[in-house]
Amino acid sequence: MPKIQRAPFQVLVLPYYIITARRQIEYAIFRRKDIDIWQGIAGGGNAGENSLEAAKRESLEEGQISSNNQFIKLDSKATIPVKYVIGDFLWGSETYVIPEYCFGVHVKEQNVIISKEHAEFNWVSFDKAMEMLKWDSNKNALWELNERLHTNGTIIRSI
């Protein structure tokens, strides 16, 4: 199988589940095996993919989350040092950081199946997720998603 060329961007996806009886939202966060930190679903884009396509592919690969679920593109963006995602100089010696595009995904059931990249995942409240997440970019995106879901009345509309 030919090697897929990486595109110079990352995606972050934050799955959420609405508990209608309690009008609450829980967020899935994942503990990586290699560096033992909690984060959302994260990964790189492939050549020819846009950020939404990459978010849907990564969600399927890392959590068996179908692309048929509702994805929300967030305004939150970050930059990630290239050496932390793929190694130096993949896109030339002048590329030091790449953008990270953020999404939420509404799952209808809490059955997530994690990939080999992760040791475990948990469904947690917003406050607990904010305590557990390592990266500021994940915390910022989670804050935005939580605000959007509450401010836009998603909780009430989904019931």
User: In the numeric block, which tokens belong to residue 47?
Assistant: 């050549």
Residue 1 lies in a domain: no
- What Å distances lie between residue 49 and 12, 53, 134, 147, 159, CA to CA? 15, 6, 27, 28, 34
Q: For the chain, what is the domain count?
A: 1
Residue 132 lies in a domain: yes
Residue 85 has pLDDT above 80, yes or no: no
pLDDT 10s digits, 98-144: 999 999 999 988 888 889 989 999 999 999 999 999 999 999 999 99
CATH number at residue 128: 3.90.79.10
Q: Which domain holds residue 26?
A: 6-158
Residue 46 lies in a domain: yes
Residue 106 lies in a domain: yes
Q: How far is CA 39 from the centre of its chain?
A: 8
Residue 42 lies in a domain: yes
